[in-house]
Structure 1
Amino acid sequence: MLVANKWKDYELIDTGNGEKLERWGGFVLRRPDPQIIWPIEKENEVWTQVSARYHRSSSGGGQWEEKVKLPERWTIGYEGLKFYIRPTSFKHTGLFPEQAANWSWMMDKIRSAGRPIRVLNLFAYTGGATAACAYAGAEVCHVDAAKGMVQWAKENAALSGLADRPVRYITDDVFKFVQREQRRGSRYDAIIMDPPSYGRGPGGEMWKLEADLYRFVESCTAVLTDNPLFFLINSYTTGLSASVLTNILTLTLKRNHGGTITSDEIGLPITASGLNLPCGILGRWEA
């Protein structure tokens, strides 16, 4: 497992009974996680004296119960980057802290490339990877179908002092955008994608990962330069093996460009138990 263990402003304090206890800067949140199928070893005051707790609804969704008045949003930092945190109605906070393991890797790749790097970030959410790549000196194209997430990404970049960096923010269906980039002859040295299990584009376009991922990765190879640097796929789809990503990257990237592939789980260290919490999978191709 690749573990994001360099955080100072974030901590996974404890886990158990389908929930995790997390410190986000100065606030402690308690929220569900379906991977946590073991019991809480000791539900002490650390578990009960939280800033807020997310309760699932039997009819779907859920809501936050604030134990203290939370600000509308607050900031946390990671290795020179800063992000706005805001608890949303879907239990998320606007940031997936385990992705810091990828941010550090991407920054190292870009800084050591010895040449200008153009990055395409697809399904780019609130722009953690966008900020990391821009911070490392890359030119970035950030694409997401949700206008609110694109705006959040812009605000994160500005918060990190990156407002003047060469970043394009695009609100669009990623399939259609990649197709237009092919026709325009646009090329990128690196591609990042974090596709959802299911999704709907701004024009009602449907996405299903199992049906669409291979052909989408294949289409993305058409907008790579002749000397690509890396290609990263993240997935949170339950039941999808990291070996599947190895196979996809082998058939689409390694066959044409050589290089090496790493596929694995990605996770976070749990302070109380010393264990690691699996949070998803990734597949990395690199030259």
Structure 2
Amino acid sequence: MHVANNWQDYEIIDAGGGEKLERWGEIILRRPDPQIIWPIQHESQQWRNVHGHYHRSSSGGGQWEMKKQIPERWTISYEQLKFYIRPTSFKHTGLFPEQAANWSWMMDKIKRAGRPIQVLNLFAYTGGATVAAASAGASVVHVDAAKGMVQWAKENAALSGLADRPVRYITDDVFKFVQREQRRGNRYDAIIMDPPSYGRGPGGEMWKLETSLYPFVESCLSILSDNPLFFLINSYTTGISPTVIHNILSMTVKKRYGGSISAGEIGLPITNSGLNLPCGILGRWEE
């Protein structure tokens, strides 16, 4: 497992009973997590003394119960990177802290490359990977279909002192964008993607990871440069093995460029128990 264990401003204090107790800076939140199928070992006062508790609804979705007043949004840091945090209606906070394991990896790759690196971040959300890549010196194209998430990413970059870095923020369907880049002849040295399990394009096109991921990765080969640095796929789709991502990268990027692949789980440490919480899977191809 690739464990993001260098956080100072974020912590999973405890986990059990389908929930995790988290510290985001000074704010303590209690949120559901489907991977936590073991009971709470000791339901201490910490579990009850929270700022916010997200309750799932039996009919789907859920809502926040705010027990203490909190800011509309606040800031946390990871090394030199800074991010705005805000509880959303879908239980999320605008950041997936386990991705810090990927940020550190890609920043090291970019810094060691010894050449200009052009990065394409697809399904880019609030820009954690965009901020990481830009801070390491890369030029970045950030693409997401949600206008609000793209604006949040811009604000995260500015918060990290990167407003003047060469980053293009594009609100668009990622599939259509890749097709246009193919026609324009644009090329990238690194591609990052965090595709959803399901989705629909602006024309009603259906995305299902199990049937769409392989052809999409294959289509991205045509926009890779002659000397690519890395290709990162991250997934939160339940039931997909890291070996599946490994195989897809092997049949596409490695087949064309050689290089090496690693795949595995990505996770976070749990302070009270010393266990690690699995949060998703990843596959990395590198030159």
TM-score band by shorter chain is over 0.9
Please tell me the residue identity of whatever aligns with 2:252: T
Q: Within 5 Å, which residues of 2 pair with 1:204-283?
A: 204-283=204-283
Quote the residue 1:99 is aligned against.
99
The residue correspondences of 1:44-193 to structure 2 (distance < 5 A) are: 44-193=44-193
Q: Check whether the contact 1:146–1:202 (CA below 8 A) recurs between aligned residues.
A: no
Shift in Å, 1:160: 0.5
Matched residue, 2:286:
286
Contact 1:14/1:273 (<8 A) preserved: yes
Contact 1:21 1:30 (C-alpha < 8 Å) held by counterparts? yes
SS of residue paired to 1:243 = helix
Aligned to 1:33: 33
Q: Aligned letter for 2:238?
A: T
Q: Cα offset for 1:202?
A: 3.4
Match of 1:15 in 2: 15
- SS of equivalent to 1:47: helix
Q: Note the C-alpha offset of 1:204.
A: 3.1
TM-score for the superposition, normalised by structure 1: 0.99
**Structure 1 residues not aligned, in runs of 5+:** none
Query: Per the alignment, in what secondary structure is the counterpart of residue 192 of structure 2?
Result: strand
- Cα distance in 1, alignment partners of residues 7 and 203 from structure 2: 38
Tell me the distance in 2 between the aligned counterparts of 1:119 and 1:205.
26
> TM-score normalised to the size of structure 2?
0.99
Alpha-carbon distance between aligned partners in 2 of 1:50 and 1:204, rounded to the nearest angstrom: 41
CA contact (8 A) 1:51 1:68 kept: yes
Distance across 1 between alignment mates of 2:44 and 2:132? 37
Amino acid at match of 1:229: L
* Percent of residue pairs bearing the same amino acid type: 80
Q: Deviations over 1:133-169 (max 9, x none)?
A: 0000000000001111101000100110111000001
Contact 1:62 1:90 in 2 (8 A): yes
Pick which of 250-259 and 204-213 moved more.
204-213
Aligned amino acid, residue 155 of structure 2: E
Counterpart contact for 1:83–1:159, Cα < 8 Å: yes
Give deviations 1:82-108, integer Å, cap 9, x for gaps.
000000000000000000000000000
Aligned residues: 287
